[in-house]
Amino acid sequence: MTKIKFGTSGWRAIIADEFTFSNVRLATEAIGRWVRRRSASPTILVGYDTRFASENFGREVARVLSSQNIRAKLCSQAVPTPGVAFTVVSQKLDGAINITASHNPGEYNGLKFSASDGAPALPEVTGEIEKEIVELQNSKWEFTGTPNDALIESIDIGPSYLRELATKVDFKKIRNANLSLAYDALYGSGAGYLDVLLQRENIPAMVLHTNRDVLFGGHHPEPADEQLGELRLVMKKNALQLGMATDGDADRFGILDEGGAFIYPNDLIAMLVDYLVESRQWKGGVARTVATTHLIDRVAKLHNLELLETPVGFKYIGEYIKEGRIILGGEESAGLSIRGHVPEKDGILACLLIAEMVASRGKSLKNQLKDLFSRVGEVYNRRVNVKLDPSIGARVREKIDSDVREFHGRRVAQQSRVDGLKLIFDDASWVLMRPSGTEPVVRFYAESTSEADLEQLLEYGKKWMTEA
C-alpha cells in the first residue's frame, strides 16, 4: 500500500512506481471529499506542468472531481504554479490541484493542493487529507464514479496572470536601461510566460529551452548553479548583463550576473528587500524561513522592519502575505513573493524584480552585494545535501534529535527546533540540519561572516552527520 505523504510542497513520487493513475485518483478523491465538506457547490482549478503525462494526470484529476459533483476548471496548457495561485485568488475558487514535481528530476511527478486562499495547504489540512486517504485505502476504495464532462471547463489562465505581473514590475526602467538579458525556462512551465511578457513589453532577451522535453535535457529542472551551464555559455558568448532561469513549475528562480557568475538566492532576497524599501518606500515586515540567511535580518534592522521567522515551506510565509504584514517573504531554496501578490512563491516575478533592480541601480549584482555588505556587514551562506541511505539515515535523525552543546570547537549559544536542529554560535554564525520534505536527503545549511569559516563549517557538518 502506497503511503501518500504531503511534504513541504505536496506529494511527490516516481512515475509508474508510486505516482500512478490509481494513486492520483485516490488522492483526488480524498481532496474532493475534504472540499465538499466545506462547500456545497465547489469549483477547483486543475493545473499541470510539462512533465511526462502531466496533462493526462490533470485530466484524470478533473474527471474524479466531476464525479463528486465538483466543477473543475482544467488548464488548457502547462502552467506556472504562481499562475495557479493567482487564478484561485482572483476567481475566488475553492482551491487548486496542480500536477507538478517542481524542481525534482524528470522521473518524478507530484500533486500539490492549494486551498481557497491560493496558498499551499497547511499541515493541518494535508494531515486531514492524508487520514482520508488511509481510510479509503483501508476500505479497498477503487474509482467507480461516473465523470461528468459538463462540469469540466477548459481555461487559459495565462492572460490574466501576465496582466497581474505587469502591475508589479517597472518595465519602463528595464527598457530604458537597455539591459542585455537571457532567460532559460529549463523546459519548464515558465516558457510562454516570462518570455512572452518580456516580448510584449518590447524588452529583447535571448531565450533557451522553451520547448517541451520531459527529460529536461537530462538535467534537473532546478535553476541552481550546476544546472545553468548552457545559460552561462550564452551569456559569456554574447556579453550579456543578466541571466534568468525558472524551475519546472516556475515557482523558483536562478540568476547569473554579468560574466555568468551565479548569485545565491539568499543574497538576492536580502538585496530585493533593500531595493523594495528604496524604490517603493514600503514599510512593514519581512519573513524568512529558519534555513534562510540572517543577512535579511541585518537589512530589516537597517530599515527598521519587523523580522519574522517560519519553518521551511512557503505555506508559512504565505500566511503573512495574506495578512499584508510583510513587504517580502523569501526562502533559501529560491522562493519569494511580495506584498499584494500571491501567497505562493513566484519565480517569474522574482526574475523580473531582479532585472528591474539591476536596471534601476545601473550596477552588476556583484557590486550591489558589495554595497550592501558595506552597510550591514559581510554574511556568507551555503547548503549541502547528504543522501539519506539506510546506513546513515537513522544515525542522522538521532543526531538531529540530540542535545548539542558544542560543534567544531564552538559553544552553542542557542538551539532552535523550529524545523530540524539549528545551532547558533556566539559569533552569530550558525548551522542547520533538517530532512528534506521533497527528496530523500538531509540538508545541511551553514552561515558565517567569512567565506573561509563557512567552508570549514560545511566540511565539518558533512563529517558530523555521516560519521558514527
Q: Is 80 exceeded by the pLDDT of residue 439?
A: no
User: How many CA atoms lie within 13 Å of 371's alpha carbon, on the beta-carbon side?
Assistant: 12
294-320: b or e for each residue (b if 16 or more CB lie within 10 Å)? bbbbbbbeeeebebbbbbbbbbbbbbb
| Gap between the Cα atoms of 250 and 58, Å rounded | 18
Provide, rounded to the nearest whole percent, the portion of the chain with pLDDT above 90: 86
149-163, 236-250, 359-373, 424-438: which range is least confident on average?
424-438
Among 24-33, 389-398, 451-460, the range with the most confident prediction by mean pLDDT is 24-33
Report residue 303 CA to chain centroid gap.
Answer: 26
Banded model confidence at residue 438, pLDDT cuts 50, 70, 90 = low
Q: Is 70 exceeded by the pLDDT of residue 364?
A: yes
| Gap between the Cα atoms of 182 and 152, Å rounded | 38
Average pLDDT, the chain: 94
pLDDT (tens digit, 9 = 90+) per residue, 283-331?
A: 999 999 999 999 999 999 999 999 999 999 899 999 999 999 999 999 9
Assigned C-alpha cell, 7: 511534504
pLDDT (tens digit, 9 = 90+) per residue, 369-418?
A: 999 999 999 999 999 887 777 666 677 777 788 888 888 888 999 999 98
Structural domains in the chain plus CATH codes = 11-157 (3.40.120.10), 181-260 (3.40.120.10), 264-377 (3.40.120.10), 380-466 (3.30.310.50)
pLDDT (tens digit, 9 = 90+) per residue, 102-161?
A: 999 999 999 999 999 999 999 999 999 999 999 999 999 999 999 999 999 999 999 999
The per-residue pLDDT for 47 is: 98
Average pLDDT (65-91) is 98
| Gap between the Cα atoms of 356 and 435, Å rounded | 35
The per-residue pLDDT for 32 is: 98
Q: Which residue has the higher pLDDT, 435 or 111?
A: 111
200-209, 225-234, 327-336, 411-420: which range is least confident on average?
411-420
The per-residue pLDDT for 393 is: 66
The per-residue pLDDT for 437 is: 66
The per-residue pLDDT for 89 is: 97
Assigned C-alpha cell, 229: 551551464
The per-residue pLDDT for 198 is: 97
| Gap between the Cα atoms of 345 and 84, Å rounded | 11
Q: Tell me how long the chain is.
A: 468
User: How many CA atoms lie within 13 Å of 320's alpha carbon, on the beta-carbon side?
Assistant: 26
Handedness of CA 216, 192, 90, 62 (dihedral sign): negative
